[in-house]
Amino acid sequence: MKKVGIVLDKLYVDHNNGPGHPECPERLLVMIDALKENDLLDKLVRIEPRDATEKEITLVHQPIHYRRMKATKGKPRVFLDSDTSTCPISFDAALRAAGGMVTAVDAVMAGDIDIGFPLVRPPGHHAETDRAMGFCLFNNVAVGAAHAVKNHDLDRILIVDWDLHHGNGTEHMFNNRRDILYFSTHQHPYYPGTGAFTDVGFDRGAGYTINVPLTPIMGDAEYMKIFNEILTPVIEQYEPEMILVSVGFDTYENDPLGGMNVTPSGFAQQTRFLKEKAQQYCDGRIVYVLEGGYDLDGLWLSTKSVFEELLELNTTDYGDLDAETKADGIIGRVEKTLSDYWKF
């Protein structure tokens, strides 16, 4: 059985966006309940997080953004945009969330665990260098990637973002670099409105941003075909030294904020695919980190499915990866757009 490390902390539950907000503490509580009820929690290695330092945060964020977030500490409620706010402990939770990602990266690199999965709140992939947005304060996956490059001397990190929403912050932080390749599947046009086919990076990073903007009603078969036909050849050519995954469960078929049709089995398929690619190309080094997902029943079912896959208690079938799907035209367009940079 793989040693799967999980990162949890009380601050991740205590962070509160206010009554009726979809990014609520219950999201994490129901995931923990799924692990307990299915006898999975005791099979996981508990990794204790620490706070990310200001130096680690400012690897990807501007110092003024760090200071703005710190200024919210202890205040009852600060609204950062129309759907992003802080409570008195949100700054502490955000430091611990980014620090949880750093801790998981360190644990995988040290060989203490095979796979890491920080179950953190607040999420991160919308946070830009200079501002919070989309429920996100600091960009957890970006902090982890930058930390891995700087402190573990890695030259090629792949970030896969399968959240319903495009990770605008993550893309913008790395779109002129090639040591961190960003790959995103996302519903489009939809919040935040970024992530077009033609956004492929620039200067030295041209071709190292890969966006797969999707129309609604895409399901398991579409996502797996996209992974197989676009991501597989890119991974073969890029040969990442570590894979980081922004895990959004908001592509779930009943998610209130989404329009996709992914099932718990579909999330397990995506999990298996990336775990196997990590095993094949980067000595198994992979860290998944929680982003979105707002249907509580879907979170419970998907957590069970994903962690059974990670722990090798189940091997989810991919289905027919050559079958015709609703994503075939999109796949062709992405491949044509990226043909100057990758062979498909």
Q: Determine contact, residues 203/165, Cβ cutoff 8 Å.
A: no
Q: SS3 string of the chain?
A: CCCEEEECCHHHHHCCCCCCCCCCHHHHHHHHHHHHHCCCHHHCEEECCCCCCHHHHCCCCCHHHHHHHHCCCCCCCEEEECCEEECCCHHHHHHHHHHHHHHHHHHHHHCCCCEEEECCCCCCCCCCCCCCECCECCCHHHHHHHHHHHHHCCCCEEEEECCCCCCHHHHHHHCCCCCEEEEEEEECCCCCCCCCCCCCCCHHHCCCEEEEEECCCCEHHHHHHHHHHHHHHHHHHHCCCEEEEEECCCCECCCCCCCCEECHHHHHHHHHHHHHHHHHHCCCCEEEEECCCCCHHHHHHHHHHHHHHHCCCCCCCCCCCCCCCCCHHHHHHHHHHCCCCCCC
Around Cβ 74, how many Cβ atoms within 10 Å? 11
Residue of 15, 61, 65, 126 with catalytic role: 126
- Phi, psi values for residue 295, rounded to 5°: -95, 115
Who's near 253: CB < 8 A, 6+ residues apart? Answer: 219, 260, 261, 262, 263, 298
180, exposed or middle or buried, with CB in 10 Å at 0-12, 13-18, 19+?
Answer: buried
126 among known catalytic residues:
yes
- Please list the active-site residues: 126
